Amino acid sequence: MTDVHESRESLWRLIVSPTIWAVHFLLCYITAAIWCAKYASRFGTLGPVRWLIAGYTVAALIGIALNGFGALRRHRFEAKSVPHDEDTPEDRFRFLGFATVLLAGLSAIAVIFAAVVVVFFRDCR
Amino acid sequence: MAVTPPLAVVGPRTSLGLLAFALLAGCSGRQSSLEPAGRGAERIAELFWWMSGGAILVWGLVAWLTFSAVRGRVAKHTERQARLYIIGGGAVFPTVVLAALLVYGLGMMPPLLAPAPAGSLKIAVTGEQFWWRVRYIQADGSAPVELANEIRLPVGEPVEFGLESPDVIHSFWIPALGGKMDMIPGRRTRLVLEATRTGTFRGQCAEYCGTSHALMAFPVVVLGKAEFARWLEQQRAPAAEPVESLAQQGRELFFLNGCSACHAIDGTAARGAIGPNLTHVGGRLSLGAGILPNDREAFVRWMAQTNQVKPGVLMPHFGMLPPEELNALAAYLESLR
Amino acid sequence: MKPTPRDPDPLEHEPPLEVRRAQEERLRAVWAAPRGWRYWSEVNNTAVGIWYTATAFLFFLFGGVLALLMRIQLAVPDNQFLSAEMYNQVFTVHGSVMMFLFAIPIFESIAVIFLPQMLGARDLPFPRLSAFGYWCFLLGGVFLSGSILFDAAPRGGWFMYPPLTSSYQPGIGADMWLLGFSFIEIAAIAAAVELIVGTLKCRPPGMRINLIPLYCWYVLVAAAMVLFAFPPLIAGSMLLEVERAFHWPFFDPRGGGDPLLWQHLFWLFGHPEVYIIFLPSVALIAMIVPTFAQRPIVGYSWIVLAAVGTGFLSFGLWVHHMFTTGLPGISLALFSAASEAVAIPTGVQIFCFIATIAAGRMVRSVPMLFTFGGLATFVLGGLTGVMVALASFDFQAHDTFFVVAHLHYVLIGGAVFPIIGGCYYFFPLLNGKKLSDTLGRWAFWFLFVGFNVTFLPMHFTGLRGMPRRVFTYPEGLGFDTLNLVSSIGAFVLGIGVAIVAWDIIRPKKKQPLSARNPWNAGTLEWLPAMPPENWGVRSIPEIDSRYPLWDQPNFVRDVDQGRFYLPDAEEGWRETIVTTAIDAKPVQCLRLPGPSFIPFWAAITLGGFFILGTFHWWVPALISGVVGIGVIWYWLWVGTAPIPEKVNKDVGLGVTLPLYQSGVPSVGWWAMLITMLAVFTAFVSLVFAYFFYWTIHEDFPPANSPGPGVLWPGLAAGLLLGAWAATLLARRYNRADNAPAFYITMVAGCGLALAGGAAILAGPWLTGLEPSTHVYPAIVWLLAIWTALHAGTGVIMQLYCLARRARGRMTAQHDIDIHNVALFWHFVAATAVITVGVIAGFPLVK
């Protein structure tokens, strides 16, 4: 049985996926920046950076998927559909679930966009 | 009186009209990224035209959808259809288009950033308030050939520019040849350009660098390979001795007035390194970093009204010299071809 | 499913007329604005919001005049209208004024006016803070814009890149920019704190998080972005000012600094800034469109997605302003990718509007005209944004007029058009009169045509090779005609702005009052009768719908007759209801402070610190700052958390609420938390600077530098953690009403904090680190000073708690002061541990 009481709710859950995107993005950027500034020459190879970014990406996508699928269940709570605009804790519960799903989707796209760069770059040029 | 026509009708008409107008306005694209004369500029211009076409299409589509949304009868648009708008038009369509664009754009980057092949011509350019120090690095390791405010390149060869700045941030940009690159104090940046046709172009500083940022330009001449080699050979030579007596007098004045403290003229005692090297200044296409023509009158104007011609310039003006002395100096400088 | 308790219904019967009259009299008296010159002591959100908006609009006009001067100068090649020096000041001030004195303030000022009204609240939770923010803004703004009349304005561009602004521009212009805008940014953060707490905690009962007006979602996101975007700039400005004043070489490569660090910090602020401007403006569209489509928004959740998603993604774009600085390609590519991704949520919200129009029946009106104009313009700006986001294209377009065109399409389409539309939409709520439809249409067409004639050609001007920020250009390069056309368009645009200005200021005495809710909108801000009363809402309603005016039967009547909450001001206090953040259950009846000149004096004295500092008059500046701290002490002492005469208050409909709250349920605790998040972000920016230097140097910390050692920093960390623990203990003893233990631990806490502050400074002092020699000692010193200042502020707060308890203003139950101070100390402890870990620990690891 699902508890929709306010005390079990948290707005932080809404931003889990975008936060994962942010962490993923910063990790990719910092890893590449440090590698190219400290360890590789001007046109040196990216070496392990590409594998690290691939690893970050898999981890991030798993995290986003967990957050997203959990939220999807909330969105579909008792098989009601949008617009989730009733003055009930259940509709608030569904609404936050749905918004979380959407943010998870956007975050996943943004993570994939970021990950695509390793396909094109093999060195620090 | 409908509300939407501004979007649907006036917008495209205005934009297409201006587009055509912009293309017709003047054919003097010495500084235009849309009339490319370099490998990078060609690719980027092509990208621009494709993206512009796409942008106009997308804009038209959004305008048309808005127009039909306003005009449509209520019955035609159920809430369900409206949701399809959001998912299809707002989420799926942009994601697909942007993903495609991103992949295409990223694919372009590695070649644009590629190093020049080993053995390519290397030119070190330093941006200084508000002029350009240009050094052609010699393959044999001998002292580089230094000139200022003018760059000549061989056609069809990748050239690597090493870019630096001793004072503030500048940006080295020859729109007709390719993208720009900043010159940052404490860092050394690189830019590879390859000219694809001969001609005379213009480069300009693209990062705001102080009072006369607008007056920091330089001519760029793309020459055939043999012609380029001849030109470089000639630049390598020390300055010619003045023949005309006025010019000889100017030479005396040059040293008398301390010009040599800042300027170097190879083959003479002038070894100043603060200002531009003047060894072949008379043979350049412009004076004052691309802002004055190269003739005697311009030399006089530059020396007498330095700060009016280029506000904030470091060089002191020599307006206190009598006109005949300025004229003599100008004659000397003009003779340095 | 558990049955949920039903919401209270409004009173079934109308209260007797004389009761209602008496209630109205009391409300009117409590909420009345002071008269005469004391009017300027008003703190009510409507009054302050209107001053704020009007001032921001005046700065907009000023910035616009500067733009016209630039367009005159650029109309023809080799023009002599403005000198190079003057032009450089004009474009610097134009950009700075439009960003810092118009775009940001107008978002906050519009929100200050309307947020409480949309939330059925009588005011924001901290009215005096809004007034303080306004006075700071006015003072700083006049000081900065006035400088151009004395030929002393900043001239380093609104982006202020060093070394140009650090070593090559003596004179006070750059100091004015750095200190003046830091001051204004602090005010902007104050307003952001207020707006966040207002949205989360001051909603009407029943307005669950799925029912709040979309405007509030946008404001929530934008205000949260301010918290994380402004601090990097404040930190950067601090570094740059310290470099200018004391020659600590943060950005000077000769001392190991790097100009690029400034660019990172600046754009870490600068790009989110664009969305901080855009989101609250598009929020106006999100209110206007449902009203004129006469139906609820389609895709409410999608818009929430768009707002929140944009808020996040906008922090991953900053390097796209640095595509030509020679960073590794893969870094550029990452930011290209994020810059493309951010277009997705932007597209979503535009399609939500189109879908709403499609599913409704559109009513034509001036606000809709501006909405369409704004969207048409913004979409084009967005499309060119997608273009410049591709690094490869940006190599050409960067720093040219193409970017000038792009950013004006985005900002004028995304912000100015919606704001003017919002002005036509909301104007009746200010004084009961509508703006003129006819003038509105004329203004629109001048603006729309003028705008496009000005900026469309600039795309080509830029690609044909004209860089930005040039005071002139030679003839015959192919942009003479384009520039002339732009200049002509600028004046057409100017006429449009003039028409709007005239429509706003023209006398409206004879004009009949607008009908109540003239557009038949569905949200709470349209409750007031015309002209509106100062009290905001007659009674605070119970909400069941996103559009209560459309959906709740007899809603306006029930509000008007005081059938909902708080219909009275029996005790003569300004009051509003505090609710929970998610389901908006009432938790407190909040008593709000009334009119006062304290915020004004606080702004003057703190402003004095910054302004006198500009002239390097350090002693008067310091005196002004100390007086400022005194004023703030006095403000808090007399104005905050008074102990109420009774514990609970009946707010009507059978609901009884406490008058005092401390800790998590209180608004003050939230304000402290949010403020400290911003402060902590500034600190993180400084730590980032330390590691940035590590990445660019082969050898950092330099092998030959002694560093601050381990002993003193380690001791400092221990002492400050002790002070933190003592503060937490003191909170517990206070709650237990154990006065002796409270005093002992608190005094001990003060001692530990002072010793800790001294110890952290002792490290670099005793090892003789000389900050002007190299960036390493400079950044170590700065981190140490930052921590010491935190400890010092913590001591003042501890002393405040001691004094409050001693004077009986803080008791075992009424302990919000020490709750907030303890919260502050959590952040001091974190700051101390991180600082010590960095300055003492990192050299060991390395």
Partner residue opposite A125 with nearest CB, options B83, B103, B115: B115
Residues in chain C within 8 Å Cβ distance of A9 = 582-583
Which ranges of B262-322 would DSSP assign to H, the alpha helix? 296-304, 306-309
Residue B71: pLDDT band with limits 50, 70, 90: confident
Distance between CA atoms of residues C594 and C576, nearest Å: 13
CB count within 10 Å of CB C548 equals 25
- Chain B residues whose CB is inside 8 A of the A82 CB are 83
Cα distance between residue B24 and residue B168, in whole Å? 37
Which residue is listed with tokens 């206070």? C734
B5 pLDDT band (50/70/90 cuts)? very low
Tokens of C214: 């979309």
Measuring CA to CA, which residue among C648, C796, C775 is closest to residue C804?
Answer: C796
Whole-number average pLDDT of chain C? 94
Cα separation, B4 vs C444, whole angstroms: 13
CA separation for the pair C528, C517 (Å, rounded) = 8
Q: Is pLDDT above 50 for B2?
A: no
Q: Does C330 contact A124 at a Cβ distance shorter than 8 Å?
A: yes
Neighbouring chains of C at 3+ CB pairs within 8 Å?
A: A, B
The overall longest dimension of chain A from CA atoms, in Å, is 61
The answer to whether B109 contacts A109, with C-beta atoms less than 8 Å apart, is no
pLDDT tens-digit profile of C620-670?
A: 999 999 999 999 999 999 988 899 999 999 999 989 999 999 999 899 999
CB contact under 8 A, A99 and C315: no
- Over residues C57-81, the mean pLDDT reads 97
- Looking at chain C, the whole-number percentage of residues with pLDDT higher than 70 is 99
**How distant is the alpha carbon of residue B45 from its chain centre?**
16
Q: Give B75's pLDDT tier (boundaries 50, 70, 90).
A: low
Q: Give CA–CA dist C487/C151, Å, rounded.
A: 24
The whole-number pLDDT of residue C2 equals 39
Closest-CA residue of chain C to B205? C467
A102 lies within 8 A of chain C by CB: yes
Contact between residue C774 and residue C702 where contact means Cβ atoms under 8 Å apart: yes
Digit-coded pLDDT (tens) for C711-729: 999 999 999 999 999 999 9
Distance of residue C612 Cα from the nearest chain B Cα, in angstroms: 26
pLDDT of B6 reads 35
Is C85 in contact with B44 (Cβ distance < 8 A)? no
Please judge whether B110 and A120 are an interchain contact, meaning their C-beta atoms are less than 8 angstroms apart.
Answer: yes
Residue C577 parent element (H or E): strand C574-579
Quote the pLDDT of residue A87: 87
A81 at B interface, C-beta within 8 A: no
| Structure-block tokens of residue C562 | 């005081």
Q: Please give the Cα distance from A101 to C305 (Å, whole number).
A: 9
Residue of A nearest to B107 (CA): A120
Tell me how far apart the terminal alpha carbons of chain A are, to the nearest angstrom.
Answer: 56
Q: What is the DSSP letter of C531?
A: S
Q: Does C664 touch chain A (CB under 8 A)?
A: no
A111 touches chain C (CB under 8 A): no
Name the pLDDT band for A5 (thresholds 50, 70, 90).
confident
Chain B residue with Cα closest to C157: B208
pLDDT, position B23: 47
Mark yes or no for CB contact C309/A11 under 8 Å: no
Q: Name every chain A residue with its beta carbon within 8 A of the beta carbon of B109.
A: 120-121
More confident residue, B17 or C403: C403
Max Cα separation, chain B? 94
Chain C residues with CB under 8 Å of B28 CB are 476-478
Contacts for B63-67 with beta carbons within 8 Å, 24 or more apart? B63/B4, B63/B7, B63/B8, B63/B11, B63/B12, B63/C376, B63/C379, B64/B8, B65/B89, B65/C354, B66/B4, B66/B7, B66/B8, B66/C354, B66/C357, B66/C372, B66/C375, B67/B4, B67/B7, B67/B8
* Tally of CB atoms within 10 A around B245: 10
Is residue B13 scored above 60 in pLDDT?
no
Residue C151 pLDDT class (50, 70, 90 cuts):
confident
Q: Tell me whether residues B113 and A125 touch, CB distance under 8 A.
A: yes
| Neighbors of chain B with 3 or more C-beta pairs under 8 Å | A, C
Residues contacting C624, CB < 8 A, separation 6+: C605, C606, C608, C609, C612
C285: closest CA among C273, C303, C272? Answer: C303
Can you give the pLDDT at residue C6?
67
CA distances from B97 to B100, C384, C446 (A): 5, 14, 34
Residues 6+ apart with CB under 8 A from C573: C30, C591, C592
Which residue has better confidence, B80 or B254? Answer: B254
Whether residue C463 is predicted with pLDDT greater than 80 in this model: the reply is yes
Among residues C327, C278, C333, C325, which one has the least CA distance to residue C306? C278
Chain B residue numbers with beta carbons less than 8 Å from the beta carbon of C448 are 6
Distance from CA of A6 to the nearest CA of C (A): 6
- Rg of the Cα trace of chain B? 27
B213, B263, B267: which is closest to B237 by C-alpha?
B267
| pLDDT of res. B77 | 59
Please list every residue in chain C whose beta carbon sits closer than 8 Å to the beta carbon of residue B85.
351, 354-355, 358
Task: Identify which of A5, A32, A106 has the shortest CB distance to residue C330.
Answer: A32
C393 closest CB neighbour out of B4, B48, B63: B48
* Residue among C57, C2, C38, C41 nearest C502 (CA): C57
Is any Cβ of chain B less than 8 angstroms from the Cβ of C83? yes
Give the pLDDT of residue B19. Answer: 46
Task: Write out chain B residues lying below 8 Å of C168, CB-based.
Answer: 129, 167-168, 210
| Contact (Cβ atoms closer than 8 angstroms) between residue C238 and residue C610 | no
Q: Smallest Cβ distance to B110: which of A42, A109, A125?
A: A125
What confidence category does residue B76 fall into, taking pLDDT thresholds of 50, 70 and 90? low
Mutating which of C167, C388, C396, C473 best tests the B interface, going by the most B Cβ atoms within 10 A?
A: C396
Q: What is the mean pLDDT of residues C69-86?
A: 96
Q: How far is B100 from chain C (nearest CA, A)?
A: 11
DSSP state of C320: G
CA distance A70 to chain C (A): 17
Residue C482 has pLDDT above 50, yes or no: yes
Of all residues in chain C, the percent with pLDDT exceeding 90 is: 93
Q: What percent of chain B has pLDDT over 70?
A: 90
Distance (Å, whole) CA C479 – CA B67: 35
- What amino acid occupies position B109? M
**pLDDT, tens digit, 9 for 90 and up, residues B135-192:** 999 988 899 999 999 999 999 999 999 999 999 999 999 999 999 999 999 999 999 9
Q: A71 vs chain C: nearest CA distance in angstroms?
A: 13
Say whether C333 and A95 touch across the interface (CB within 8 A): no
Task: Tell me C398's DSSP state.
Answer: T
Q: Residue A105: which residues within 8 A CB-CB, separation 6 or more?
A: A68, B91
pLDDT tops 90 at residue C397: yes
Q: Which of residues 187-206 of C touch A (CB under 8 A)?
A: 206
CA atoms within 13 A on the CB side of B316: 8
Residue C822 · residue C658 · CB < 8 Å:
no
**Contact check, Cβ <8 Å, C583/A124:** no
In this predicted structure, the answer to whether residue A83 has a pLDDT above a threshold of 90 is: no
Helix, strand, coil shares, percent, chain A, to 5: 75, 0, 25
Sequence-ordered list of residues with C-beta below 8 angstroms from that of C260, at least 6 positions apart, any chain: B184, B187, C322, C325
Helix (H) or strand (E) holding B218: strand B217-223
C-alpha closest to that of C370 among C448, C477, C478: C448
Question: Is the confidence at residue C224, as pLDDT, over 70?
Answer: yes
Record: contact B85-C457, CB cut-off 8 A: no
CA–CA–CA angle B256, B257, B259 (5° rounding)? 110
C107: pLDDT strictly greater than 50: yes
Q: Residue B28's pLDDT band (boundaries 50, 70, 90)?
A: low
Residues 26-65 of A with CB under 8 A from C: 28-29, 32-34, 36-38, 46, 49
CB-nearest to A95 from C301, C328, C344 is C301
Q: Is the pLDDT of residue C211 over 50?
A: yes
**C49 pLDDT more than 50:** yes
Residues in chain B: 337
Q: How far is it, in rounded angstroms, from Cα C73 to Cα C490?
A: 12
Between residues B81 and C121, which one has the greater pLDDT? C121
Where helices occur in chain B by DSSP H, the ranges are 5, 11-24, 39-71, 79-84, 93-113, 225-236, 245-256, 296-304, 306-309, 323-335
Asked if B115 and A43 come within 8 Å (Cβ–Cβ), the reply is yes
Compute the nearest-CA separation of C493 from chain B (Å). Answer: 16
Q: What is the pLDDT of residue B16?
A: 44
Task: Find chain A residues with C-beta within 8 A of B95's C-beta.
Answer: 109
What pLDDT was estimated at residue B4? 36
Residue C331: which H helix or E strand, with range? Answer: helix C329-341
Question: What pLDDT score was predicted for residue A81?
Answer: 74
Q: Across the interface, do A22 and C312 touch by the CB < 8 Å criterion? A: yes
Q: Does the pLDDT at position C388 exceed 50?
A: yes
Task: Using alpha carbons, list the distances in angstroms from residue C230 to A57, C100, C668, C683, C834.
Answer: 29, 11, 22, 12, 21
Name every chain A residue with its beta carbon within 8 A of the beta carbon of B83: 82
Angle at alpha carbon of residue C730, lines to C726 and C734, rounded to 5°: 175
Write the Ramachandran bin of C487: left for phi over 0, alpha for psi from -120 to 50, otherwise beta: alpha
A89 or B51: which leads in pLDDT: B51
Select the residue of B91, B107, B114 nearest A125 (Cβ to Cβ). B114
Q: How do residues C484-529 score in pLDDT, each as one tens digit? A: 999 999 999 999 999 999 999 999 999 999 999 999 999 999 999 9
Give the other-Cβ count within 10 Å of A80's Cβ.
13
Q: List, as own/partner pairs, every contact residues B247-251 make where C-beta atoms lie below 8 angstroms and the sequence separation is at least 24, other chains included.
A: B247/B328, B247/B331, B247/B332, B247/B334, B247/B335, B248/B332, B249/B328, B249/B331, B249/B332, B250/B328, B250/B329, B250/B330, B250/B331, B250/B332, B250/B333, B250/B335, B251/B332
Say if the ipTM goes beyond 0.85.
yes
Alpha-carbon distance of A16 to C181, in angstroms, equals 33
Token look-up 């450089």 returns C88
Residues 6 or more apart whose Cβ sits within 8 Å of residue A90 = A4, A77, A78, A80, C1
Which one, of C637, C639, C629, lies nearest residue C596 by Cα?
C639
Task: Please report which helix (H) or strand (E) contains residue C590, including its range.
Answer: strand C586-592
Q: Please check the confidence at residue B1 and state whether its pLDDT lies above 50.
A: no
**Partner-chain contact C482 B25, CB within 8 Å:** yes
State residue B73's pLDDT score. Answer: 62
Reading the block at residue C155, the tokens are: 């001239």
Q: Which of A87, A118, A125 is closest, CB to CB, to C211? A: A87
In terms of CA atoms, which chain B residue is nearest residue C441?
Answer: B3
Residue range C809-817: mean pLDDT, rounded: 94
pTM of the predicted structure, to 2 decimals: 0.95
Q: Does A54 touch chain B (CB under 8 A)?
A: no
Residue A85: its pLDDT value, please?
82
* Position B10 confidence tier, pLDDT thresholds 50, 70, 90: very low
Contact yes or no for C115/C219 (Cβ under 8 A): yes
pLDDT band, residue A86 (cuts 50/70/90)? confident
Position of tokens 């943004």?
A110
For A2, nearest residue in chain C (alpha carbons): C1
| Bridge-based pairing state of the strands B217-223 and B151-154 | parallel
A125 interface with B at CB cutoff 8 Å: yes
How would residue C1 be classed by pLDDT, with cut points 50, 70 and 90?
very low
Closest to C470 (Cα-Cα) out of C459, C481, C483, C457: C483
Q: Do C379 and B59 touch (CB under 8 A)?
A: yes
